[in-house]
Amino acid sequence: MNIRQEMSRATSCGEASVRWQRFVVPFAFPVAFTRRALDPANPLLAQMLALREPDKRHRALVFLDAGLLQARPELPAALAGYAEAHADVMALAADPIAMPGGEAVKTELAHIEAMQDAIHRLRIDRHSYVVAIGGGALLDAVGLAAATAHRGVRHIRMPTTVLSQNDSGVGVKNAVNLNGVKNYTGTFAPPWAVLNDFDFLEALPRRERIAGVAEAVKVALIRDGDFFRWIEANVGRLARFERDAEEYMIRRCAELHMRQIGEGGDPFETGSARPLDYGHWSAHKLESLTRHAVRHGEAVAIGVALDTRYAVLAGLLAPGMDARVAAVLEGLGFSLWRPALAQRDAVLEGLAEFQEHLGGALTITLLGDIGVGVEVDTMDPALVVQAIDWLQAREAA
């Protein structure tokens, strides 16, 4: 007997009175790609502020990634000039506030409290805006502060890294770490809008710029074989950051993530399947074991290679596909071995931690073919160890 039948039986017996409350909330937000987003001649940011109320002047509080500010010290003046040029729809509530970037902003809840205090002190209400300009970690943290202040303040994301433009920036999650657990405290709250400015990528160190490509390989492998073959054919161009190749990679990766979130049937992750977390169970553990010395994208590249090898060992994927995927990742500039992987038992603990994160049965996405993800509910620890051994042997070859 299912829960509705049981509740109906209880109601008929006079044990309870049950009414079902139902409503649907439509979510929609624009994701734009551009250059020179803060040039007064570019109207996109102003248009996003005025989406619903074009005849109103909107107050905006801007949080800036401190690392980005160091690389681009002209940004506060550019923001002030943009707001002045679009004063009919935009007013800065204060000078931009710098916050730590990377995992630093996600490991101390004091940063969230500081942002919420600024939102309160500057009287940012539910018809004002919080704008985050920075990498994925900053977007996560600002998104959490915005989603919980006044039970939800309008939030505009301006991602400035490859990883945040092609993946996390278009998602609906906001989260920070707690007690060493990645993304433990958070919300599902879609942004008001996302504005990707490719010019920001020019300020990235090579390591950071390459790291974001791992998510493109990941989503191509599980959802679009043609896209993977395009990446494979353009490895050199992507590794050299050729403009048209990099822009296409980011757009296509973002589109595939958006399709999965919007059409996959579980945008707020109430079930156990996480196809967009392909390769992530070991990646999250590797990040933790190295205290984030290994970047997220670098860890994802290793996790993707590990799980692809596992799929071959488990008979799910044709032999040779593992070497093919590894060659693409290595060609992009990733190292697929880190000394922390030698802690094999500790790496295997990542499976239990991932299951706890899922909140239900263990569900791992593996490959049945290039572009075809399959879900499994068990992983053989012995085969995982063999896959780790394969990565180590490949590094030594």
Which of the listed residues 178, 203, 228 is the one where a domain comes to its end? 203
| Any domain includes 1 | no
My answer on whether 113 and 153 are in the same domain is yes
My answer on whether 177 and 239 are in the same domain is no
Fill in the DSSP letter of residue 192: S
pLDDT on residue 7: 56
Q: Please determine, for residue 308, whether its predicted confidence score (pLDDT) is greater than 90.
A: yes
Helical H segments across the chain, by residue range: 3-12, 44-49, 66-71, 75-85, 109-121, 136-148, 162-166, 206-211, 213-223, 225-233, 235-239, 243-263, 280-289, 296-313, 321-332, 344-358, 381-396
Q: Please determine, for residue 4, whether its predicted confidence score (pLDDT) is greater than 80.
A: no
Which of the listed residues 155, 185, 203 is the one where a domain comes to its end? 203
Q: What share of the chain is helix, strand, coil (3-state, %, to 5)?
A: 55, 15, 30
My answer on whether 54 and 163 are in the same domain is yes
My answer on whether 148 and 263 are in the same domain is no
Average pLDDT of the residues in 242-267: 93
CATH code for the domain of 100: 3.40.50.1970
My answer on whether 195 and 241 are in the same domain is no
Distance CA 108, CA 90 (A): 31
| Any domain includes 151 | yes
pLDDT on residue 265: 80
My answer on whether 44 and 190 are in the same domain is yes
| Any domain includes 278 | yes
Q: What is the pTM of this model?
A: 0.90
| Any domain includes 336 | yes
| Any domain includes 138 | yes
My answer on whether 218 and 362 are in the same domain is yes
Average pLDDT of the residues in 70-93: 96
My answer on whether 102 and 120 are in the same domain is yes
| Any domain includes 130 | yes
pLDDT on residue 181: 78
Q: How many Cα atoms sit within 13 Å of 321 on the Cβ side?
A: 26
Distance CA 41, CA 43 (A): 6
| Structure tokens that stand for 296 in this block | 């997220």
| Any domain includes 126 | yes
- Structural domain including 310 reads 210-396
| Any domain includes 24 | no
Q: Please determine, for residue 13, whether its predicted confidence score (pLDDT) is greater than 60.
A: no
Confidence of residue 264 (pLDDT cuts 50, 70, 90): confident
Confidence of residue 302 (pLDDT cuts 50, 70, 90): very high
My answer on whether 169 and 215 are in the same domain is no
Which of the listed residues 183, 203, 223 is the one where a domain comes to its end? 203
| Structure tokens that stand for 355 in this block | 């299951």
Confidence of residue 2 (pLDDT cuts 50, 70, 90): low
Distance CA 349, CA 179 (A): 16
CATH code for the domain of 309: 1.20.1090.10
My answer on whether 270 and 379 are in the same domain is yes
Q: Please determine, for residue 180, whether its predicted confidence score (pLDDT) is greater than 80.
A: no
Number of structural domains the chain divides into: 2
My answer on whether 130 and 190 are in the same domain is yes
My answer on whether 105 and 170 are in the same domain is yes
Confidence of residue 114 (pLDDT cuts 50, 70, 90): very high
